[in-house]
Amino acid sequence: MLPQVKQPYERAGELRAGVAGFEALPVGIPVVVGWNDMNAAFLGMGALTNGFVGLNLTGTSEHLGCVGPCVHVAREAYLGVNRVLFLDDREAFYGVTSSGGQAVEWFVKDLMGAKDVHDYFNKLFENQDEIPLASNDNLLFLPYIEGERNPWNNPEVRGVFFGLSRSHRQIYLAVAVLEGVCFALRAIYDQLPVKPEQMIVSGGASTDDLWNQMKANVMNAPFVKLNTTEAGCTGAAILALSILHLGMSFKEGTAKIVRPIQTYRPDADRCARYEKNISSFWRCIITWKSRCLT
């Protein structure tokens, strides 16, 4: 009762005549099996380039991981993250934090009553010479408003603002939410068996320069923005090219299509301050453990 299992780059068939919604396309063009959104996006972010490629796919939730040559590592080396085969004898280690952009959108729209996330932050930060570190002022946000997947799988975990005082203003809460997602990603990053030299970022939030720089500082690794936020579509295009027999390998297709446009390099001072604050984030989780991790 199940169809034949095929690779994502294989031909599934050809477009038939009279298929609703596809009347404008020529009959007989090849239909490629395709891939799920995460893997297609990883491919479209350059996952088949040399060595281990770090990847941060932003969205409602956030995926963070790396793709590289298959390696022999013990399970203890990547506890809490997933390991799956990729393409060309490569494999992916990755984790997903359930509330990335979702946590930010919840804060901005539901809590602050703003209509647009980007406009909200632009107005909030427009007169700031330097964005404060909320975690440096003992304010932390656990972004687990919809449970959490990695590095621990607990759908019952819940979010919390920790360390609130009367002196904290709106800007500190906003920064705490951004930092909280970064710290959740750092928890995944720390479980990767290989630490990539840099992280490629894509998805809707990759247009946010402030957040990209914050991630670079929290992870202490360069973050690289691409010329498109739609890495999944890019990956699908690379898969389609392979079926058209253009003499182009996946790696060659990636080199021609994937275009980095900006690199966010870690700031040594902020990296050091965040490194201290990360330990506070873990202490916050331990304090909240009876609700958070049990």
Mean pLDDT calculated for residue range 131-147:
91
Residue 130's pLDDT band (cuts 50, 70, 90): confident
What's the whole-model pTM score?
0.91
148, 157 in Cβ contact below 8 A?
A: yes
Question: Count of CB atoms within 10 A of residue 107's CB?
Answer: 24
- List the structure tokens of 93: 């280690």
- What is the per-residue pLDDT across 164-197, written as a single tens digit (0 to 9) for each? 999 999 999 999 999 999 999 999 999 999 999 9
pLDDT at 287: 66
Mean pLDDT calculated for residue range 78-94:
93
- List the structure tokens of 271: 């990296």
Reported as half-sphere exposure (CB side, CA atoms, 13 A), residue 175 has a value of 22
- List the structure tokens of 207: 């247009």
CA angle, 151 as apex, 148 and 154 as ends, to 5°? 35
- What is the per-residue pLDDT across 34-55, written as a single tens digit (0 to 9) for each? 899 999 999 999 998 888 999 9
- List the structure tokens of 224: 């690289």
pLDDT at 286: 67
Poorest-pLDDT segment among 134-138, 221-225, 242-246:
242-246
Mean pLDDT calculated for residue range 111-123:
94
Instruction: Tell me the C-alpha distance between 224 and 265, whole Å.
Output: 9
- Phi/psi at 225 (nearest 5 deg)? -95, 140
DSSP, res 126: T
